[in-house]
Chains A and B, each alone.
Chain A
Amino acid sequence: MQPDWPDFYPPLRVIVAAVMVVGLPGFALACRCIEPSPAQAYKAAQGVVFGEVISVRKENERGDVVYVFEVAESWKHNLERQITIHSGTTCSFNANAGLKYVLFLRQTKSGNYDTGQCMGNQSEAKAGPTLQYLRAMKPAK
């Protein structure tokens, strides 16, 4: 049996074939999604920060979390020195207090920030190429 390819969008087959050849940064197995490259993540995000998770608070019994994050560097938008970031659903991003991360942020209609898996987030230990990419761009501050 052949995989199905919708007739209404034939270029999709070419795109996925190209992806198979070129490869992608990674597939997040807990959330059914594909991690973007730094350039893709930067383009999609409304803000990017590098800094330290000061605290992690469980927001509800469903496992949503709120991170208090100390911003050391930011891109795309000037952000306050300390911001709160929400993450929820089965695609929430897990971070640990006391560790540093590069986080790609989405801003909600109410002005709050959230993040999740497959947005390009990385711990400092793995963020070398991403930080190199970001630092080559104009920082927000």
Chain B
Amino acid sequence: MPNINTPDSGHNAPDENSGWQWLPYTDATLLATLKHAIRIIDGRIKGFRPCDRAFRALPGGRSFTQVWTDPDVWISFDPKNNGRDFGVTNFVGGKEISVTKFALRMGHWTTAATLVHEMAHVNGAPGGDSHAAEGTLRSCLLSGLEDPNILGAIERVADAARLA
């Protein structure tokens, strides 16, 4: 799983860029939500073959499991709570993710979907008008959260597919 930027982590996070910040997690409630989202991904999405396949098709060529277990990926906190912004990666192919307070307040499912989206950028999914990053949610058991205006939950096919 990725590293979490906390005050004790000693992580040298990126400077603010275009209004986005990569800050340590200092709020216990928000950190708990992030850890819950990470547990969902660790338990249900990591190792899920369709998700791994979708990620291998991205420019970085790595499976979701490979990206998720990359020891150089960090998750920081952005205090935006504007009802619009969920998360960011420092650049396409970068390893510095930041999740907004808004996404965390929406809960662990929204946070999990945001993390999968940003992992796609870590794996080279382009920005701009590309749908590649968000499109991975369909293959990663989070299709109900592909559009955050639609509430959803992880599909029940997870366990069946794991056994396939």
User: A: which residues have CB within 8 A of B?
Assistant: 1-6, 8-9, 12, 15-16, 19-20, 23-24, 27, 29-36, 40, 44, 62-64, 86-92, 94, 106, 114-118
Contacts and interface: CB of A to CB of B under 8 A. Distances in A.
B154 A63 contact: no
Contacts of A62: 90-91, 94
Interface of B: 17-20, 29, 33, 36, 82-92, 94, 103, 105-110, 113-114, 117-118, 121, 125-135, 147-154
Given A91-B18, A92-B127, A27 B149 contact: yes
The 10 closest A-B CB pairs, nearest first, are: A4-B107, A62-B91, A32-B86, A29-B134, A90-B127, A94-B128, A29-B131, A33-B85, A88-B17, A90-B89
27 contacts: A2-B153, A3-B110, A4-B109, A8-B29, A12-B106, A15-B83, A16-B151, A24-B149, A30-B131, A31-B88, A31-B127, A32-B85, A32-B113, A32-B114, A32-B117, A32-B148, A36-B84, A62-B94, A63-B92, A86-B18, A89-B18, A89-B90, A90-B90, A90-B92, A114-B18, A117-B127, A118-B84
A106 B19 contact: yes
A109 B150 CA distance: 36
Contacts, number: 130
A30 B130 contact: yes
A3 B149 contact: no
Nearest to B130: A30
Contacts of B88: 31-32, 89-91
A92 B18 contact: yes
Contact of A32 (B33, B36, B107, B134): B134
Contacts of B82: 44
A34 B127 contact: no
Given A63-B91, A94-B128, A115-B18, A34 B121 contact: no
Instruction: Specify the main secondary structure of chain A where it touches its partner.
Output: loop
Given A30-B130, A94-B128, 9 more contacts: A2-B153, A4-B36, A12-B106, A16-B151, A32-B87, A32-B117, A32-B148, A35-B84, A91-B88
Nearest to A15: B83
A23 B88 CA distance: 23
A38 B109 CA distance: 29
Contacts of A31: 85, 88, 127
Contacts of A117: 127
Given A90-B89, A91-B127, A92-B127, A32 B118 contact: yes
A88 B96 CA distance: 13
